[in-house]
Structure 1
């Protein structure tokens, strides 16, 4: 019996050791494009970088670290993204930045927790990355490290995130659909990608993976006790949403009934969508109200392809 216990322990140690040294991600190609600061700043707004990594309520400096995000797995604190070389990303290269944004992997090769919405940014182009990088280079350095995540065992073991990635990480369906027009495809690119609407409006399983057969069906258990309603085409139409009033609401926070958005959507409007162009807001509304190809909810690409088939 002792031999069996020893053998099981040794096997377990071997498995854990293998996971710890298991390499993840790909080495990004060199980013040689010249970045456009204004376009990068716009993309940072769309993607929630500024609102997430700035603790506005506490009077924090822009991108110097955000307020804690309380989840069932622990509380996560968005890090400092200023140009400070010690506390921020001032010592990074643009390629390390690209790997972090598109793959969720730190310069040291460690996986980031999926509280960071990197799964939605995987299709950012090299030009997108160059633009973002150029914009971030204009941010004044703040020599103050963000708080450490408050995560208990076993979720504090980052090697375990490699299993999470294998099970739940997939490429976002942002590529254009030939049968659709440019406006619809732009809306799809924003909603499915940078604006990451599915991060809140899609239910998740016990492991924190999004349920791909229920995309945009709503989430009753958001961090902090908030809820996100269904934003499928049928549910939006049933509640009286149209392209014009949805685009207006994303800019102002005011609903068709004259009421205002509640919960975390207030922060989304204030920090993100109110800065979008009228064309982009309309494109998002057109996409959300028209719906998507069924296969887009189910085709899983990338690291989690096999596992996602049974989600």
Structure 2
């Protein structure tokens, strides 16, 4: 019995050491200084394409732009997109452009804490310094809203952010957005948007028990979206079987109107309203071109 107690004590001490080690283990890397001049119009466009306004604005609740989004009800608890206005206390007004770069591309806060993956930072990892500078310049024009967004309502142990360090080590990958030789400019632009900024796979890919995207089923659809919604398959064969063409898909991303005359509802309606409706015809056509390519590699 004494030996068992000693063994249990050793395990407890070892387990505690592992936890403490994870808590103090730094993640991410310090970004190099960004001294580029940003373009406010390019930044605003990229913010729309990336869903910043759609996610961080509580449209149904009448919230101010980027002052915090509507709650995301998930199997892990309720998450609240934070205030991204220039308020120095409750928003990002006290950040530097390097803080912003680290948050957007790495999912790490200015305090070194990992963000929950409800923030779609895994899709933004390939943003260039110029794109970060453009985004940052655009965000500097947002009026401050001196109000905090609600704290996440998630239970133990999900609320222990140090556990996300393990999650990141196992599941975090860079998006596949680099141009592919032999493909058209439109196809590569569509790939960049679909797999990067527009983060289509965040909703249209099923998740495993840890909340990570199932790479083997990329774009195969998701029946368990936050709030109980679902996202259909974006696999080319499935899209074509439902009558989607490059033309009507680009039109739907602009207007929200589907080929049968019905309109997107739920979260996809919000994506159009706050994001894709503002994209150029060329970019919408590029996204549709990529998605409807029967030779598109998936995942």
Aligned partner of residue 123 in structure 1, secondary structure:
coil
Aligned partner of residue 18 in structure 1, secondary structure:
helix
1:223 aligns with 2:226: yes
Of 242, 250, 253, the match for 2:245: 242
Count of residues in Structure 1 that have an aligned counterpart in Structure 2: 296
Cα distance in 2 for partners of 1:24, 1:37 equals 31
Cα distance in 2 for partners of 1:292, 1:120 equals 22
Structure-1 residue corresponding to 2:266: 263
Please give the residue correspondences for 1:28-43 in structure 2 after superposition, counting only pairs within 5 Å: 28-43=31-46
1:125 aligns with 2:128: yes
Deviation at 1:179, TM superposition (A): 1.3
Structure-1 residue corresponding to 2:281: 278
Please give the residue correspondences for 1:144-155 in structure 2 after superposition, counting only pairs within 5 Å: 144-155=147-158
Deviation at 1:216, TM superposition (A): 0.4
TM-score, normalised relative to structure 2: 0.97
Aligned partner of residue 140 in structure 1, secondary structure:
coil
Deviation at 1:291, TM superposition (A): 4.8
Structure-2 residue corresponding to 1:24: 27
Deviation at 1:55, TM superposition (A): 1.0
Please give the residue correspondences for 1:93-108 in structure 2 after superposition, counting only pairs within 5 Å: 93-108=96-111
Cα distance in 2 for partners of 1:56, 1:222 equals 18
Deviation string, structure 1 residues 241-274 (Cα, Å, up to 9, x no partner) = 0000000001111111111123321111111111
Runs of 4+ displaced beyond 4 Å: none
Cα distance in 2 for partners of 1:191, 1:148 equals 30
Structure-2 residue corresponding to 1:166: 169
Cα distance in 2 for partners of 1:80, 1:258 equals 36
Deviation at 1:17, TM superposition (A): 0.7
Aligned partner of residue 75 in structure 1, secondary structure:
strand
1:9 aligns with 2:37: no
Of 138, 143, 154, the match for 2:141: 138
Deviation at 1:293, TM superposition (A): 5.2
TM-score, normalised relative to structure 1: 0.94
Cα distance in 2 for partners of 1:260, 1:14 equals 54
Cα distance in 1 for partners of 2:135, 2:121 equals 14
Cα distance in 2 for partners of 1:83, 1:263 equals 29
Structure 1's unaligned 5+ residue stretches are 298-311
Aligned partner of residue 22 in structure 2, secondary structure:
helix
Of 93, 100, 112, the match for 1:109: 112
Structure 2's unaligned 5+ residue stretches are none
